[in-house]
Structure 1
Amino acid sequence: MRHLALLVLGLVTLPAMALTNVDLYRSEIVLDQTAEKADDQARVEGMKEVIVRASGDRNAVTNEVVRKALRQNTQYLAQISYGQVGGEQTLKMGFSAPHIRSLLSQAQLPVWPAARANLLVWLVEEKADRNIVWEHSDSQVLSLLKSQATVRGLPLTMPVGDFDDITGVAVSDLWGGFIQPVGEASQRYPVDAVLVVKAQGNSVRWTLYDQKPATIGITRQAPLSGSNNGADAATKMIDQISDYYAKKNAVVIANESSEAIKVRFTELDDAVGFFTLENNLKKLSSVASLDILKIQGNEVTFNVHLLSSPEEFKQEVLRVGPIAQLESVVDQPALPQPEAVSPEDAALDVNQEVDGVANDVANNDELTEIATEPTAPVIESEMILVYEWQGQPYVAPVAEQEEAIEVDASGDIVEESAPDVIEAAEQ
């Protein structure tokens, strides 16, 4: 019983883990009823939102690999349905987490893990007077904060505004930057950081204490601060704070898990043909990236990382230029050759083996099995697609040279070859 009491006491005294798991792969987009293909447009926007949220990188949608994937957005979708927001029809989408993570990996973009820091937001608005904005307050700034935080996947907690909150911290403490009472009033919330925001018209000033509330005002950790202006000031603030946490916690995952095939091209007789082929392959919507595995003579072998199925790649590759498909080959790595052994060493090894077996028989009542042959290593083979490059060899242009003009002692032309030069000479 005493041990149980100690266990319960330990659980009570342990700090609560405040990291919040964010649903990264769902989005809901309002359909543009005036658009010709409203659903197609909404799927693209929804996938963009998911990619930015999962990567933490606002510029991720401009990545060339991502731009290709956006044109094939249906293969990343796991769920789709219709909804309503504010009387407008929406498209609700759920994207496949493994497929999105694989895409980010192929594009060499970071992945911001779903377990993210939870921020307690103390928001003070100055209108006729200054007031603290609570969780259920009617505030446009609060609405913008929550909306953009959802887009970026930044967990926010607003104070509920009950008796403890009202008596624990004053407007003057928040506006004046008195951090001791702010830290004490924030300790009742299981959060990882505290954000103090002062909104005045179209301007916001903010201070982020990226530490547990219990340590605010005690440690010497410097806060982050900034200011934004304009109608989207609150949105910009959330973007800046999201960028900070994404840079702090996001990681780039190697693209070992992406589907890839080996492709060999023959008859590449010059560098121009090689670079033309490489650039054309990179432009294919089914290709994420290329790795050059081997160049031998006029042949080059690529490891092609795919965004779609191998069948789609096979259909596309024939359209990149003058290419003919040949019979595929099996890549069978060479078996390691045994080391040469001299007759003297072989006889010595046999004698040692016989002596060892004799000792085993002498020391054991039964000898069940003696391995006489080593186990052959298993060498995996791999299929290689083979194509023949049929482009014309590159021919460097030859500069035209004008022949010399011979002139006699009187200045008359002896040999005519370049009319324009001759005309100039006659003048």
Structure 2
Amino acid sequence: MKNNVLIAFMLVVSVLFSAHSIALPQISAYQGLVPEQENSEAQLREQALQQVLVKVSGNTGVVNLDETQLLAKDIPSILTKFGYEEIEGERYYSASFDKQKINQALIEMQQPIWGETRPNPLIWLVNENRQLISDNMITSNQDNSLSIGLDSAQLARGISANFPLVDLDDSLAVSVSDVSGRFYQTVAQASIRYDAEYFVLANLTPAGGEWQLKWELVKYNAQNKQSQVVVKQVNQGEKSNVIANMMGDIADYYAKQFAILENDGERTTQVVNISNLSSLSGLLALDNILNNLNAVDSFEILSLSGTKVQVLVTLKGSATSLKNALNAQPKLQQDLISDAPFYYNWRQ
């Protein structure tokens, strides 16, 4: 059932990119963007709502819930902004929804809430010409099908990807054979310059009139310098679809790591220790990070001594959810000296 739902949902999204990729504007998880076409405004609003519910919950099946159908009848009460946009000559309907009301609706549906913790995986992709796909090849749209797949995943699931520069440094550090041979540690070392906790090793090849994408999502633990394959798949179909499906599978994994299913029970707490935090701007940045973590209900500073800060965090979910979210923050690096969890160094 889930696969059918996902396929149907992606077909709606793929209409956006049926001929060419578009330069997507910055889109939050709480904003929907759908092509006008022959649809009425009521239909467009409902499609935008479905898009948002999938992105925020991380669950493609949420669109089939009875509660979603009821919510769709009361869309005006949760809309904060809507209108039409021209993007590269095409007309789209854009709708932004109230964050608190969407979150509350998902809680009442007993659905998880996936917040702003959405790491961009670094993708080391070997294409059919045995080339490593570079960031410039993506940004300059040298392979339109790849761009279409990436754009549709960003719109449908709320995640995007990074690609290596493939400059002299990368070329000296990583070869096509390293990626194809799955030399994880070699690629992990090359990924450090991009602050990538998650990276993908992938090979794209023609296969009987279609395309085959073999890929693995790898999580790198800087503390013990170990690489762990967390998702491994083979996708087959049109080129744009295999890329979009890969990103969808990564979104599913991320949702399991970072989405919070709130309960009505007593909140638990966790002390977080941060070193090397030496400025007011750093404290304000930390405050902003914690305020935007979905795993955090509230927090307070317990102590501030020199460059060390101790924070008491009240959790919405589990301590593991908090740890996953903190580990994904570029400004926070796990303390490699301490064996205890929740000890971090602040990156200046």
Q: TM-score range with shorter-chain normalisation?
A: 0.5 to 0.7
1:206 counterpart SS class? strand
- The residue type paired with residue 243 of structure 1 is D
Once the two structures are TM-superposed, the CA of residue 113 in structure 1 deviates from its matched residue by: 2.0
Match of residue 71 from structure 1: 73
Q: 1:49 aligns with which of 48, 51, 54?
A: 51
Task: Give the direction of change, closer, same or farther, for the CA distance of 1:147–1:162 in structure 2 (3 Å limit).
Answer: farther
Question: Which residue matches 2:233?
Answer: 226
Q: 2:246 aligns with which of 237, 243, 246?
A: 237
Query: For residue 253 of structure 1, what is the aligned residue in structure 2?
Result: 262
Higher normalized contact order (CA 8 Å, seq sep 6+, divided by chain length): 2
Q: Alpha-carbon deviations, 1:120-143, whole Å to 9, x = none?
A: 1111111xx211111131122243
AA at the equivalent of 2:178: D
Structure 1 unpaired stretches of 5+: 1-20, 257-427
8 Å CA contact 2:150–2:160 kept in 1: the answer is no
CA distance in structure 1 between the aligned counterparts of 2:68 and 2:104, rounded to whole angstroms: 11
1:64 to partner: Cα distance: 0.9
Question: Match of 1:98, as an amino acid?
Answer: Q
Question: In structure 1, what is the equivalent of residue 318 of structure 2?
Answer: none
Determine the structure 2 residue equivalent to 1:27: 32
Amino acid across the alignment from 1:83: E
SS of residue in 2 equivalent to 1:164: helix
Q: How far does residue 77 in structure 1 lie from its aligned partner after superposition?
A: 0.9
Aligned partners of 2:75, 2:263: CA distance in 1, in Å? 22
Specify the structure having the higher radius of gyration (Cα).
Answer: 1
User: Could you tell me which amino acid in structure 1 is paired with residue 126 of structure 2?
Assistant: V
TM superposition shift of 1:155: 4.0
Aligned residue for 1:424?
Answer: none
* Paired amino acid for 1:221: Q
- Check if 1:209 corresponds to 2:211: no
Alignment check: 8 A CA contact 1:134 1:158 kept: yes
> What is the aligned partner in structure 2 of residue 168 from structure 1?
173
Letter of the 2:257 counterpart: K
SS in 1 for 2:185: helix
Q: Work out which of the residue numbers 74, 95, 98 in structure 1 matches 2:97.
A: 95
State the identity %.
Answer: 26
For the 8 Å contact 1:31–1:42, the answer to whether it is kept is yes
Whether the 8 Å contact between 1:118 and 1:192 is mirrored in structure 2 is no
Match of 1:130 in 2: 130
Alignment equivalent of 2:201, drawn from 193, 196, 202: 196
Moved over 6 A (4+): none
* Aligned mates of 1:96, 1:77 — CA distance in 2: 6
RMSD of the alignment, in Å?
Answer: 2.3
d(CA) in 2 for partners of 1:223 and 1:24? Answer: 24
Secondary structure in structure 2 of the residue aligned to 1:251: coil
Asked if the contact 1:22–1:115 (Cα under 8 Å) also holds between the matched residues in 2, the reply is no
CA distance in 1, matches of 2:74, 2:250: 31
CA distance in 2: counterparts of 1:27 and 1:123, whole angstroms: 29
Structure-1 separation of matches of 2:179 and 2:105 = 43
Q: Offset of 1:181 from its aligned partner?
A: 2.1
TM-score (ref. length: structure 2): 0.61
Do the aligned residues in 2 keep the contact of 1:22 with 1:114 (CA within 8 Å)?
no
Distance 1:25 1:72, change over 3 A: same
Contact 2:149 2:242 (C-alpha < 8 Å) held by counterparts: no
Task: Supply the AA of the counterpart residue of 1:172.
Answer: S
Aligned partners of 2:229 and 2:201: how far apart in 1? 14
In 2: Cα distance, 1:123 partner to 1:84 partner: 32
SS at match of 1:252: coil
- The one-letter amino acid paired with 1:206 is W
Deviations, residues 205-250 of structure 1 (Å, cap 9, x unaligned) = 11111224x479x426344311111122222222222111212222
Q: For 1:13-412, list aligned pairs within 5 A.
A: 23-32=28-37, 34-35=38-39, 37=40, 39-126=41-128, 129-137=129-137, 138-139=142-143, 140-201=145-206, 202-212=211-221, 214=222, 218-219=225-226, 221-231=228-238, 232-254=241-263
- Contact 2:185/2:226 (<8 A) preserved: no
Q: Distance in 1 between matches of 2:147 and 2:197?
A: 20
Q: Report the equivalent of 2:295.
A: none
Contact 1:102 1:255 in 2 (8 A): no
Q: What amino acid maps onto 1:249 in structure 2?
A: F
Amino acid at match of 1:45: Q
